[in-house]
């Protein structure tokens, strides 16, 4: 599969290292400086799957570059709409629904899936660094696109779980905010991921 990742920061670097073990990966960037990189629009055209790993406030710019190349494609939204509100880090997306639904509205022909936003970038190249497999939910309306996100999360060592329709993305953005708060302000630091604990019995 040809996976285009927009960005070259912490998330893009970690996921590209992991995905490159099984797939062709190119990074879409503003200024190309490495053979693994290309202009954003070019990567949009080349890819079978796109993943957004840019700041949320860059989304309008990024969408302008990729809008003509995403019809029918999975667009995995790993971004979190985090900013300052009343002097504290918080989710700053405004309006109804989630940031992922706003992305879907900007890219109506794409199949947006919220995924890879619920844990720190340091575990995205190798979720096996954690004591048990962390969970990674994927929320989206197109089953095929969501299955691609889920299989990429499984390959990256996560317990990948169907998180329902794209309207559930707001819950995943809140889950990410809880991770960010716990890592930055709470007692956990950036050394944890959320994991599921399953019943020992099939009946309870």
Contacts to ligand NAP by CB under 6 A: 7-12, 29-31, 53-56, 58, 61-62, 78-80, 82, 117, 120-121
Q: Rounded to an integer, what distance in angstroms lies between the CA atom of residue 5 and that of residue 3?
A: 6
Q: Phi and psi for 83 in degrees, rounded to 5? A: -160, -170
Judged by beta carbon, residue 56 or residue 137, the one nearer ligand NAP is 56
Judged by beta carbon, residue 55 or residue 200, the one nearer ligand NAP is 55
Q: Is 188 helix (H, G, I), strand (E, B) or coil?
A: coil
Query: Residue 107: how many CB atoms within 10 A of its CB?
Result: 23
Judged by beta carbon, residue 88 or residue 203, the one nearer ligand NAP is 88
Q: What's the closest the beta carbon of residue 200 comes to ligand NAP, in angstroms? A: 32
Q: Do the beta carbons of residue 151 and residue 157 sit within 8 Å?
A: no
Residue closest to ligand NAP when measured from CB atoms: 9
Q: What's the closest the beta carbon of residue 129 comes to ligand NAP, in angstroms? A: 13
Instruction: Residue 74: name the closest of 50, 100, 53, 54 by CA.
Output: 50
Q: What's the closest the beta carbon of residue 53 comes to ligand NAP, in angstroms? A: 5
Q: In three state form, how does the secondary structure of 83-128 look?
A: EEECCEEEECCCCCCCHHHHHHHHCCCCEEEECCCCCCHHHCCCHH
Judged by beta carbon, residue 111 or residue 125, the one nearer ligand NAP is 125
Judged by beta carbon, residue 48 or residue 57, the one nearer ligand NAP is 57
Sheet holding 24-29, edge to edge: 37-39, 24-29, 2-6, 49-52, 74-77, 111-114, 135-140, 159-162
Question: How far out from the chain centre does Cα 82 lie?
Answer: 14
Q: What's the closest the beta carbon of residue 201 comes to ligand NAP, in angstroms? A: 34
Judged by beta carbon, residue 30 or residue 171, the one nearer ligand NAP is 30
Q: What's the closest the beta carbon of residue 43 comes to ligand NAP, in angstroms? A: 11
């Amino acid at each position: 599969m040809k996976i285009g990742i927009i960005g070259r920061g912490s998330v893009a670097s970690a996921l590209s290292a992991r995905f490159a073990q099984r797939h062709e990966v190119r990074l879409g960037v503003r200024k190309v400086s490495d053979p693994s990189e290309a202009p954003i629009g070019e990567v949009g055209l080349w890819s079978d799957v796109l993943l957004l790993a840019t700041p949320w406030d860059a989304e309008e710019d990024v969408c302008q570059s990729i809008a003509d190349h995403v019809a029918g494609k999975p667009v995995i939204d790993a971004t979190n709409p985090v900013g300052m509100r009343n002097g504290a880090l918080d989710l700053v997306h405004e309006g109804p629904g989630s940031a992922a639904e706003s992305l879907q509205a900007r890219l109506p022909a794409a199949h947006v899936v919220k995924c890879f936003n619920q844990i720190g970038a340091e575990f995205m190249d190798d979720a096996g660094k954690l004591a048990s497999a962390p969970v990674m939910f994927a929320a989206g309306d197109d089953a095929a696109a969501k299955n691609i996100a889920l299989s990429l999360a499984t390959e990256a060592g996560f317990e990948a779980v169907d998180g329902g329709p794209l309207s559930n993305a707001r819950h995943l953005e809140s889950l990410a905010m809880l991770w960010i708060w716990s890592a930055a302000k709470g007692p956990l630091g950036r050394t944890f991921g959320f994991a599921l604990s399953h019943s020992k019995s099939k009946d309870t």
